[in-house]
Chains A and B, each alone.
Chain A
Amino acid sequence: MSTVAPARRARRRQLDSSVIVGIALVAVIVVGAILVSTVGRNFFSPGNIRDILTGMSVLGFVAIGQTLVVLCASLDLSVPYVISLASLIGADLMAGNPANIPFAVLVVLVVAGAIGLANGLIVTKLKVNGFIATLGTGLIIKGYLDTNYKGTSGEVPYEFQLIGATGIGPVPVSTIIMLAVALLAAFFLARTRTGHHMFAVGGSDQVSRLSGLRTARPVIIAHVLCSISAALAGLLLASRLGVGSPTVGTQGGYDLLSIAAVVLGGTLLMGGRGSIWGTIGGVAIFAVMDSVMSVMQVNPFLKDVVRGVVIVAAVAIYTSRTVERRRPRFGPGGSVSEAGSKPIGDLAATKEGAVR
Chain B
Amino acid sequence: MRRRFTVASAMVGALALMTLAGCTTDPNVGAPTDEAAPSEEAVEWFDQELFDKQDAERDVIPAGPEGQPWLQHINAEMVDTSEFTSPGAKKACFANASISNPWRQTGWITMNEQLKVLQESGAISEMETRDAQDSDDTQIADIDYFINEGNCDVFLISPNSTAAMTPAVERACDTGKPVVVFDRGVQTDCPVTFIHPIGGFAWGIDTAEFLIDELEEGDKVVALRILAGVDVLEQRWAGAEKLFDEAGIEAVDYFTGADPAEIKKIISDELAKGDVDGIWMDAGDGAVAAIEAFEDAGADYPVMTGEDEMSFLRKWKETGLTGLAPVYSNFQWRTPLIAAQKIFAGEEVPKEWVLPQSPITAEEVDEYLALNENMPDGHYAKFGGEDLPGYPQVWEDRIIP
Q: Is B272 an interface residue, CB under 8 A from the partner?
A: no
**Interface residues as binary, B1-45 with A (CB distance below 8 Å gives 1, 0 otherwise):** 101110111011101110110010101110110111111001101
CA A45 to CA B35, docked complex, whole Å: 44
Which of B20, B131, B142, B162 has a CB less than 8 Å from the CB of A99? B20
Q: Is the CB of B9 within 8 A of A241?
A: no
Stretch of B77-85, B228-236, B363-371 that contacts chain A: B228-236
* B residues near A184, Cβ cutoff 8 Å: 4, 7-8
Q: Is B140 an interface residue, CB under 8 A from the partner?
A: yes
Task: Pick from B11, B38, B98, B100 the residue with the most CB of A within 10 Å.
Answer: B38
Q: Is B400 an interface residue, CB under 8 A from the partner?
A: yes
Q: Is the CB of B9 within 8 A of A106?
A: yes
Q: Is A334 an interface residue, CB under 8 A from the partner?
A: no
Q: Is the CB of B19 within 8 A of A162?
A: yes
Q: Is the CB of B12 within 8 A of A105?
A: yes
* A residues near B131, Cβ cutoff 8 Å: 294, 300
- Distance in Å from the Cβ of B148 to the closest Cβ of chain A? 3
Known contacts A160-B19, A163-B16; can you find 20 more A-B pairs with CB under 8 A?
A51-B149, A55-B141, A92-B36, A97-B25, A97-B28, A99-B27, A148-B37, A149-B38, A150-B42, A150-B228, A152-B162, A152-B229, A154-B36, A163-B19, A228-B5, A240-B167, A248-B164, A252-B135, A294-B142, A299-B401
Given A100-B27, A152-B161, A160-B16, A237-B137 contact (CB < 8 Å): yes
Give residues of chain A (99-138) contacting chain B, Cβ–Cβ below 8 Å: 99-107, 109, 111, 113
CA A111 to CA B229, docked complex, whole Å: 24
- Distance in Å from the Cβ of B91 to the closest Cβ of chain A? 12
Q: Is the CB of A50 within 8 A of B144?
A: yes
CA A107 to CA B137, docked complex, whole Å: 23
CA A180 to CA B9, docked complex, whole Å: 12
* B residues near A151, Cβ cutoff 8 Å: 42, 45, 161, 163, 228-231, 234
Q: Is B166 an interface residue, CB under 8 A from the partner?
A: yes
Q: Is the CB of B29 within 8 A of A161?
A: no
Give residues of chain B (129-166) contacting chain A, Cβ–Cβ below 8 Å: 129-131, 133-138, 140-142, 144-145, 147-149, 161-164, 166
* B residues near A46, Cβ cutoff 8 Å: 148
Q: Is the CB of A51 within 8 A of B145?
A: yes
* B residues near A14, Cβ cutoff 8 Å: none
Which of A41, A102, A297 has a CB less than 8 Å from the CB of B129? A297
By Cβ-Cβ distance, the 6 closest A-B pairs, closest first, are A47-B148, A47-B149, A92-B36, A241-B164, A99-B27, A101-B16
Q: Is B99 an interface residue, CB under 8 A from the partner?
A: yes
What residue in chain B is nearest A95 (Cβ atoms)?
B29
Q: Is the CB of A251 within 8 A of B166?
A: no
Q: Is the CB of A159 within 8 A of B401?
A: no
Q: Is B128 an interface residue, CB under 8 A from the partner?
A: yes
Q: Is the CB of B135 within 8 A of A251?
A: yes
**14 pairs across A/B with beta carbons < 8 Å?**
A45-B148, A51-B144, A92-B32, A92-B36, A104-B32, A106-B13, A152-B162, A152-B164, A157-B25, A224-B1, A225-B1, A235-B12, A241-B164, A300-B100
* B residues near A20, Cβ cutoff 8 Å: none
Q: Is the CB of A240 within 8 A of B142?
A: no
* A residues near B37, Cβ cutoff 8 Å: 148
What residue in chain B is nearest A304 (Cβ atoms)?
B133
Q: Is the CB of B19 within 8 A of A241?
A: no
Q: Is A279 an interface residue, CB under 8 A from the partner?
A: no
Q: Is the CB of A54 within 8 A of B141?
A: yes
Q: Is the CB of B149 within 8 A of A54?
A: no
- Distance in Å from the Cβ of A100 to the closest Cβ of chain B? 6
How many residues from B make CB contacts under 8 Å with A? 66
Which of B19, B42, B134 has a CB less than 8 Å from the CB of A149? B42
Q: Is the CB of B15 within 8 A of A242?
A: no
What residue in chain A is nearest B135 (Cβ atoms)?
A251
Q: Is the CB of A48 within 8 A of B8?
A: no
Q: Is the CB of B148 within 8 A of A95?
A: no
* B residues near A111, Cβ cutoff 8 Å: 34
Which of B45, B130, B148, B167 has a CB less than 8 Å from the CB of A150? B45
* A residues near B148, Cβ cutoff 8 Å: 45-47, 50-51
Q: Is A143 an interface residue, CB under 8 A from the partner?
A: no
**Interface residues as binary, A285-328 with B (CB distance below 8 Å gives 1, 0 otherwise):** 00000000010010111010000000000000000000000000
CA A189 to CA B32, docked complex, whole Å: 35
CA A148 to CA B38, docked complex, whole Å: 7
- Distance in Å from the Cβ of A204 to the closest Cβ of chain B? 22
Q: Is the CB of A47 within 8 A of B16?
A: no
CA A99 to CA B17, docked complex, whole Å: 9
Q: Is the CB of A146 within 8 A of B144?
A: no
CA A247 to CA B13, docked complex, whole Å: 25
Q: Is A259 an interface residue, CB under 8 A from the partner?
A: no
What residue in chain A is nearest B160 (Cβ atoms)?
A251
What residue in chain B is nearest A222 (Cβ atoms)?
B1
Q: Is the CB of A99 within 8 A of B25?
A: yes
CA A104 to CA B32, docked complex, whole Å: 9
Q: Is A243 an interface residue, CB under 8 A from the partner?
A: yes
Give residues of chain B (254-274) contacting chain A, Cβ–Cβ below 8 Å: none
CA A88 to CA B231, docked complex, whole Å: 17
* A residues near B7, Cβ cutoff 8 Å: 184
- Distance in Å from the Cβ of B133 to the closest Cβ of chain A? 6
CA A148 to CA B37, docked complex, whole Å: 8
What residue in chain A is nearest B165 (Cβ atoms)?
A241
**Interface residues as binary, A155-176 with B (CB distance below 8 Å gives 1, 0 otherwise):** 0010111110100000001000
* A residues near B137, Cβ cutoff 8 Å: 58, 237, 240-241, 248, 251-252
Q: Is the CB of B141 within 8 A of A51?
A: yes
**Interface residues as binary, B284-310 with A (CB distance below 8 Å gives 1, 0 otherwise):** 000000000000000000000000000
CA A231 to CA B130, docked complex, whole Å: 28
Q: Is A89 an interface residue, CB under 8 A from the partner?
A: yes
**Interface residues as binary, A229-268 with B (CB distance below 8 Å gives 1, 0 otherwise):** 1001001010011110111100110000000000000000
* B residues near A48, Cβ cutoff 8 Å: 145, 149
CA A194 to CA B1, docked complex, whole Å: 8
Given A92-B32, A152-B162, A162-B19, A246-B11 contact (CB < 8 Å): no
* A residues near B140, Cβ cutoff 8 Å: 240-241
Q: Is the CB of B29 within 8 A of A100?
A: yes
Q: Is A347 an interface residue, CB under 8 A from the partner?
A: no
Q: Is the CB of B149 within 8 A of A159?
A: no
Q: Is the CB of A294 within 8 A of B130?
A: yes
- Distance in Å from the Cβ of A57 to the closest Cβ of chain B? 10
* B residues near A229, Cβ cutoff 8 Å: 8
Task: Pick from B5, B15, B36, B134 the residue with the most CB of A within 10 Å.
Answer: B36
* A residues near B230, Cβ cutoff 8 Å: 151
